[in-house]
Amino acid sequence: MSDPIPGIAAPAHLRQGSSIGQPLTRRDGPLKVTGQARYAADNHPPGMLFAVLATSGIARGRVLGLDVAAAKAHPGVVEVMTPANRPPLAGDPDAKDSPFMFRLDALQNDAVRYPQQPIAVVIAETLEAATEGAALLAPRYAAEPPRVGLDGAAAFVPAAVGVGSPASFAQGEVEAGLAAAPRRMEAVYETPAQYHNAMEPHAIVAAWDGERLTLDTPSQGMAMAQARFAALFGIRPEDIHIRSPFLGGGFGSKGLANGPQVLGILAARLVGRPVKLVLRREQMYGPVGHRAPTRQTIRMGADAAGGFTAIASHTLTATSSFDDFIEAAADVAHTLYATPALHTSHEAVRLDTGTPMFMRAPGEAPGSIALESAVDEMAFACGMDPLAFRLRNYAEVEPASGKPFSSKALRECYAEGAARFGWAGRPLQPRQMRDEAGLLVGWGMGTATFPAMMMAGHARATLRADGSGLVETGAHDMGQGAWTALAQVAADGMGLPLDRLEFRSGTSDLPDAGIAGGSAHMATVSSAIHGAGGAVIDRLAALATGDERSPLFGAGNAGVVAREGRLHRRDDEARSESYAAILSRAGLAGLEAMGQGAADPAAQKAFAMHAHGAVFVEVKVDPDFGQIRATRVVGAFAAGRVINPRMVRSQYYGGMTWGVSFALHEHAVTDRRSGRIMNADLAEYHLPVNADVPSLEAILVAEQDPHVNPLGIKGVGEIAITGTAGAVANAVWHATGVRVRRFPIGLEALIGA
C-alpha cells in the first residue's frame, strides 16, 4: 500500500463528516482491473448491427459519387447511408447558437470540408463486413485546393476567443514600457496541432424504441448532449437515455455532441435495429476536435532589477472553414506575472480541418509553454535565476483585472517544489552540467496556472428509513476519479460512513451535473452534492431538535453535527440520536433534497480565482544526437481543498505527462499540399510511453480558499500540463544552450548544438 500522502492538512470539518481528504483507493478500481467496467463499445443489445464510417480522402471539395452497389454487394452489408437516403433531421447540424455548440457533419450534403470527414456509413451484420463495405465505396471527388497551415489563409480578428472572451486586451503603455526597458526580448513560439487521442475511441451504441432513444456513448456532458440530440431528432430530451458510466479518457473531445454520434443514431433509425458505431483511430483525426496550432509572438521588457515594464503577447491560430473555436493562448499572460503594461491579442486563419475543440487546458497549455519559455529567456537576459525572476515579478493581484486572488499559495509551491527538486545551486549559464555518462543535463522550471471555475450542476440526496443514504447525480468519470471523490463528498455531506452510502452517477436520468470540463466538475458537483446532503441533514435536525422526545431537543438546528449516521449535540457529544431513529419517530420513510452547484457572482466579481503550481524538470540530452529524455519532473500545486489526494496526485501525474508530451513528443504532421494528416495513428503520432517519464513527483501544497465554492475546491485536471511543458523546454535550453521555440522540440534542432 502507498503511504499516506504528505503535505495534506487534515480537512477542516464543516458541519458534517470526515470522508473528505482521505486517500481512498479508486472505488471503481475492482471493476476496471477485472474488465467488468462497461465502456460504450462493450455493449451489444440483441439484434445489434455494426456501423462503420467512410471518411473523406480529400480536405476540401465535394463527393461526386460512391460505389454503393459494391458495398451493398459485400456479404453481410445491410445498408449504406449517404446524403441520399439518410433519415431527415428535425434540426440543422450546421446550426450554432452558443460557444458550446459546434457545427456537425451528419451527411447533410455532399460537401467535404476536412480530411476524415464522414461521407457515408456502412451498416452490416458483422464488423468485418461493415469495415470492408466502407472501403469498397471508393469515393470520387471534385477536389479544391485545401488551405493548410498558419500561412495558408488570410488572418482575421475573431469576434471572441476561448468561450466568449475578448480577442484582445490592453492596459498600460506597452510600447513605452518596452522602449524604456534596459532589458528586452522578443521571440516567436510555434505550437503544433494536437489530437486528444483518448485511449477509448469515440463510440456509440444507439437503440430506438419508437420515439425513445437509448444511447451508450462516452460523454463529458450528458445533459447537453441530450438537448442537442433532442433538437436534432425532434424528440424530447427526457426520452433520450444516455449511459456513460465510464469514459476511456475524454480530455475535451467527448465534451459536446459530435457528428459520429449523430450518424450512429441515424444509422439505427435507418435500419430499425440497434447499431454500434466506433471510430477507427485515424477517424479520430477529423470529426472529434483537436488543439489548433499557434504562432505566438511575445515581447517583454524589464527594468534593471528584473521587474517587468511591459508584456505583449500576440497569438495567431487556426479554426475550421465553417466554425469557430479560437485557442486563447495569449490570455494566460492575464494572470501570471505582475506588469504595469500588458497587451494580449489574437488572430486566426480558416483552414480545411475539422473544427478545433477544447483539449486539456485549452489556451493555457500552448500559451503556457510560450510564456514560460519567454520568461526564462527574459530572466537570462536579466542575469537572474529563473525562480528569483519569477518571484521578483510575483503577482500579488491578478494583473489583468487588478482583483485580489481568492487564494494563492504559489510562493509555497515555488518553495516546496524547488526544495524537493534541489533547485538551489543551478548554474545560471546553460550547458554546464553532464551526467556520469556524458549526457547533457539541464534544469528548467515553469509556473502552472489554471482558472478555478464553477459550472452549474445538480444532485439529489435521499436519507432512507434505515438511516442509509442515496446520492444521485449525472456526473462523468473519465478517469479523474469522480466515482470515488464524489462519493466521499456525498458521505461527508450526509454525515455517513462511505459503506452506508449509495452513490449513483453516470446516466442522464439522474440530476443534471453539467459538463466535466474546465477542471470544474469536482468543484461544481461536490457543491451540489454537499448542498443536497446538507439540506437533508437540515431537515433531519429540524425534526430532532424540535421534538421533545429527542435527546437533541432544544439544541437548535445549528447546535447539532452529523457524523457516522447520527446527529450529536455540539455542546455535548454524548447526546446523540441515529438518523433511523429520528425518521422512525417522525413516521417518515425518508427525506430527500436537491442541491445545486454554481458560481457565486459576488465572489467572482470580487476575486480572481485560480489554482497555481510550480514545476521543476531535469532533462538529459545526448550531445551528439539531440535525443531528449525528461528524467525528473517535480510539481508542487496548490488547488484548494483536496478531496482525495490519491486521485489528485494521479491527475497531476497525468497533466505533467501531457506537459512532457507537449514539449517533446506529440504533433500532427500535415501534408501542405493535400491537407491530410500523415501520422493519423498511434505509431507515428507519438504519445509518451512508460519509459519517457521515469520520475514524476507531485507535491500537494495546502491551500484554503473560502471564496471559490463552499468546499474550497479548485480543479486539478488541467493545471499540471501548464508549467510543465515550459519547464521541459527551459530545461532543454539549459542542457544544450539552444533555445528551441518550435514545439515539439525535434532532435534536428539540437544536432550540432
Partner 1 sequence: MNRFEFLRPTTIAEAVAAGARPGAAYHAAGTNLLDLMKGGVMRPGTLVDVGRLPGLDRIEHAADGGVRIGALVRNADLAHDPGFAARFPAVAEALLSGASAQLRNAATVGGNLLQRTRCGYFYDLASACNKRTPGAGCDARGGENRLHAVLGWSEACIATHPSDFCVPLAALDAVVEIIGRDGAREVPLADFHRLPGEAPERETVLAPGDLVVAVRLPAEAAGFAAHARYLKVRERTSYAFAVVSAAAALRLEDGRIAAARIALGGVALKPWRARAAEAALVGRAPAEAACREAAALALADAAPSGDNAFKIELARRIVARALLLAAAGTPGRLPALPASPFAALPGAQAHV
Partner 2 sequence: MTLSISLTVNGTVQAVALEDPRVTLLDLLRERLHLTGTKKGCDRGQCGACTVLLDGRRTNACLVLAAAQDGASVTTIEGLAEGGQLHPVQQAFIDHDALQCGFCTPGQIMSAIGLLAEGQAGDDPERVREGMSGNLCRCGAYAGITEAVLDAQARLAAREDAA
Contacts with partner 2 by CB under 8 A lie at: 1-2, 25-26, 28-39, 41-42, 44, 50, 76, 126-129, 132, 197-201, 246-251, 278, 280-281, 478-481, 646-647, 649-651, 653-658, 681-683, 687-696
Give the interface size with partner 1 as a residue count (CB under 8 A).
44
Q: Which stretch binds partner 1 (CB under 8 A): 205-213, 507-515, 664-672, 697-705?
A: 664-672
Q: Measured from the CB atom, is 23 or 57 closer to partner 1? A: 57
Tell me which of 22, 244, 657, 670 binds partner 1, using CB under 8 A.
670
What is the closest distance, in whole angstroms, from the C-beta atom of residue 284 to partner 2 in the complex? 10
Q: What is the DSSP string of 253-285?
A: TTSS--HHHHHHHHHHHHHTS-EEEE--GGGGS
Tell me which of 91, 149, 688, 710 binds partner 1, using CB under 8 A.
688
Residues 622-651 that bind partner 1 (CB under 8 A): 622, 624-627, 629
Q: Are 614 and 445 in contact (CB under 8 A)?
A: yes
Tell me which of 676, 707, 714, 741 binds partner 1, using CB under 8 A.
676
The option from partner 1, partner 2, none interacting with 28 (CB < 5 to 8 A, set by class) reads: partner 2
What is the closest distance, in whole angstroms, from the C-beta atom of residue 594 to partner 2 in the complex? 29
490-501 residues labelled b (16+ CB within 10 A) or e (exposed): bbbbbbbbbebb
Q: What is the dihedral of CA 538, 544, 546, 551, to 10 degrees?
A: -140
**Angular region, 416: left φ>0, alpha ψ -120 to 50, beta rest:** alpha
Measured CA to CA, the distance from residue 734 to residue 730 in angstroms comes to 6
Tell me which of 88, 210, 587, 752 binds partner 1, using CB under 8 A.
752
Does residue number 46 form part of the binding site for partner 1 (CB under 8 A)?
A: no
Q: Measured from the CB atom, is 564 or 622 closer to partner 2? A: 622
What is the closest distance, in whole angstroms, from the C-beta atom of residue 29 to partner 2 in the complex? 4
Measured CA to CA, the distance from residue 322 to residue 334 in angstroms comes to 29
The option from partner 1, partner 2, none interacting with 249 (CB < 5 to 8 A, set by class) reads: partner 2
Tell me which of 669, 695, 704, 706 binds partner 1, using CB under 8 A.
669
Q: Which stretch binds partner 1 (CB under 8 A): 180-188, 201-209, 437-445, 610-618?
A: 437-445
Does residue number 6 form part of the binding site for partner 1 (CB under 8 A)?
A: no
Measured CA to CA, the distance from residue 70 to residue 652 in angstroms comes to 50
What is the closest distance, in whole angstroms, from the C-beta atom of residue 55 to partner 2 in the complex? 15
Measured CA to CA, the distance from residue 431 to residue 154 in angstroms comes to 41
Q: Is the peptide bond before 744 cis (omega within 30 degrees of 0)?
A: yes
Task: Name every residue whose Cβ is closer than 8 Å to that of residue 24 and which is 6 or more positions away in sequence.
Answer: 484, 488, 498, 644, 646
Sheet containing 203-209: which strands, arranged edge to edge?
Answer: 77-81, 118-124, 49-55, 275-278, 203-209, 212-216, 240-243
Tell me which of 436, 499, 548, 571 binds partner 1, using CB under 8 A.
436
Does residue number 424 form part of the binding site for partner 1 (CB under 8 A)?
A: no
Instruction: Report the 10 Å Cβ neighbour count for 672.
Output: 10
Selection from 246, 733, 718, 179 nearest residue 451 by Cα: 718
Which residue's entry shows cell 487546458? 361
Q: Measured from the CB atom, is 126 or 704 closer to partner 2? A: 126
List the catalytic residue out of 79, 364, 472, 718.
718
Alpha helices in 7-48 (DSSP H): 29-33
For residue 327, indicate whether it is catalytic: no
Q: Which stretch binds partner 1 (CB under 8 A): 186-194, 388-396, 608-616, 678-686?
A: 678-686
Q: Which stretch binds partner 1 (CB under 8 A): 210-218, 298-306, 498-506, 685-693?
A: 685-693
Measured CA to CA, the distance from residue 587 to residue 432 in angstroms comes to 77
Does residue number 742 form part of the binding site for partner 1 (CB under 8 A)?
A: no
Q: Which stretch binds partner 1 (CB under 8 A): 238-246, 446-454, 535-543, 675-683?
A: 675-683
342-372 residues labelled b (16+ CB within 10 A) or e (exposed): bbbbbbbbbbbbbbbbbbbbbbbbbbbbbbb
Q: Measured from the CB atom, is 26 or 314 closer to partner 2? A: 26
Binding mask 126-165 for partner 1 (x = CB under 8 A): --x--xx--x------------------------------
Q: Measured from the CB atom, is 85 or 126 closer to partner 2? A: 126
Measured CA to CA, the distance from residue 628 to residue 439 in angstroms comes to 10
Measured CA to CA, the distance from residue 425 to residue 481 in angstroms comes to 38
The option from partner 1, partner 2, none interacting with 42 (CB < 5 to 8 A, set by class) reads: partner 2
Measured CA to CA, the distance from residue 594 to residue 105 in angstroms comes to 38
Q: Measured from the CB atom, is 390 or 665 closer to partner 1? A: 665
Q: Measured from the CB atom, is 57 or 172 closer to partner 1? A: 57
Q: Measured from the CB atom, is 307 or 479 closer to partner 2? A: 479
Does residue number 574 form part of the binding site for partner 1 (CB under 8 A)?
A: no
Residues 463-502 that bind partner 1 (CB under 8 A): none
Q: Are 107 and 232 in contact (CB under 8 A)?
A: no
Tell me which of 26, 350, 665, 741 binds partner 1, using CB under 8 A.
665
Q: Measured from the CB atom, is 687 or 749 closer to partner 2? A: 687
Q: Measured from the CB atom, is 3 or 748 closer to partner 1? A: 748
Q: What is the DSSP letter of 614?
A: E
What is the closest distance, in whole angstroms, from the C-beta atom of residue 34 to partner 2 in the complex? 6
Measured CA to CA, the distance from residue 688 to residue 652 in angstroms comes to 16
Residues 187-246 that bind partner 1 (CB under 8 A): none
Residues 58-77 that bind partner 1 (CB under 8 A): 58, 74-75
**Angular region, 673: left φ>0, alpha ψ -120 to 50, beta rest:** alpha
Measured CA to CA, the distance from residue 667 to residue 626 in angstroms comes to 18
Q: What is the DSSP letter of 576?
A: E
Helix (H) or strand (E) holding 379: helix 364-381
The option from partner 1, partner 2, none interacting with 247 (CB < 5 to 8 A, set by class) reads: partner 2
Q: Measured from the CB atom, is 482 or 731 closer to partner 1? A: 731
Amino acid in position 59: A
Strands of 75-210 (E only): list them: 77-81, 111-112, 118-124, 140-143, 168-171, 183-191, 203-209
Catalytic amino acids? 718
Residue numbers of the site for partner 1 (CB under 8 A)? Answer: 57-58, 74-75, 115, 128, 131-132, 135, 436-439, 620, 622, 624-627, 629, 664-665, 669-674, 676, 678-679, 683-684, 686, 688-692, 746-748, 751-752
